[in-house]
Structure formats: structure tokens, C-alpha cells
Amino acid sequence: MIEWLEIGTEWVRSHGQLMWGIGILSGVTFLGTLIVVPLLLTWMPADYFLHDPEDQEDSWVGQHPALRITVRILKNVLGLVFLVMGIGMLVLPGQGILTILVGITLLDLPGKRKFEVGLLRQKNVHRAVDWLRKKGNRDPLELPPRND
């Protein structure tokens, strides 16, 4: 075990520039999520979770197929970035759960709506989202009735 620790320590010492780059990137993404996550949560309509996304008309239907595919790919890549950053923020400084929520909202995943609503039903998460929305002069998020 000590041998692995020595190997790891030596590797970190020999890759100082990489470690600085990772540290700077980590700081930038942390500061970025402090700005972007509250903006996305306040821009979300209060009734966002009351409508089934399958029932809503796609606003990109009339657009060129290449544009629709590109937008969908970019949205999913951005969602994946937020999801990974949020998972990292569960152990690093940052608002991990809220960042995960934004990431999942952007991803096209089966069953994501049920997971999102379940996450928002957590008292502390819902309270934090409503606090951010109140600061942005927005109404609290409305959740569908429970099906228990």
C-alpha cells in the first residue's frame, strides 16, 4: 500500500503543470456553477414539472434535421458535463445536488422526469431551489401530485 502511495506522490510531482491545470479548471467550473445553476433554475417555468415532456410539441420540429440533431447532441453533452460536475461536487466544494438536477434536466434519459420529481420532493433540495427562485423573483416550482 505504501509503495502505491509513493508511486502516486511521485507521479503528481512529475506532472506539476497538469496538476495546476486541473486545479484551475476545478476552480473555474466551481465558480461557473455558482452562476449558471441558479440562472437555469430561475429561468425554468414554475409549472415545468406539471407537463409531461412527451405530450409537449417539439419546438425544433420545423427546423432542418441536422440542426435538430446538433442541438440535441449539444444539450446532452452539456447535461453530461453538469451531471459529472455535480457528482464531483458531492465531495468537492459546490452545490452538487442542484448541479446534478440541472444536468439530468438537460439529458434525454428514459424515466428522468420521475427521478427529477423524486429529487425535488426531498425537503432540502426543494427548499434550496425555491430559495434561489425567490431571489430571482420567480414563483416556487410546482410539483405534480404524489401517486403513492
Could you tell me the pTM of the whole model?
Answer: 0.58
Q: Specify the number of domains making up the chain.
A: 1
In a domain, 127, yes or no: yes
In a domain, 12, yes or no: yes
In a domain, 54, yes or no: no
What would the pLDDT profile of 62-85 be if each residue is shown by its tens digit? 778 888 889 889 999 999 988 888
Separation CA 94–CA 87 (nearest Å): 10
In a domain, 43, yes or no: yes
In a domain, 76, yes or no: yes
Alpha helix segments (H runs only) across the chain: 2-14, 16-43, 65-88, 96-106, 112-120, 123-135
In a domain, 57, yes or no: no
What would the pLDDT profile of 24-62 be if each residue is shown by its tens digit? 877 787 787 778 878 888 888 888 888 776 655 566 667
In a domain, 23, yes or no: yes
Percent of all residues in the chain with a pLDDT value above 90, rounded to a whole number:
8
Contact 92, 33 (CB under 8 A): no
Structural domain of residue 30, as residue ranges?
2-49+62-135
In a domain, 147, yes or no: no
| Between 96 and 132, the higher pLDDT residue | 132
Identify the pLDDT of residue 61: 66
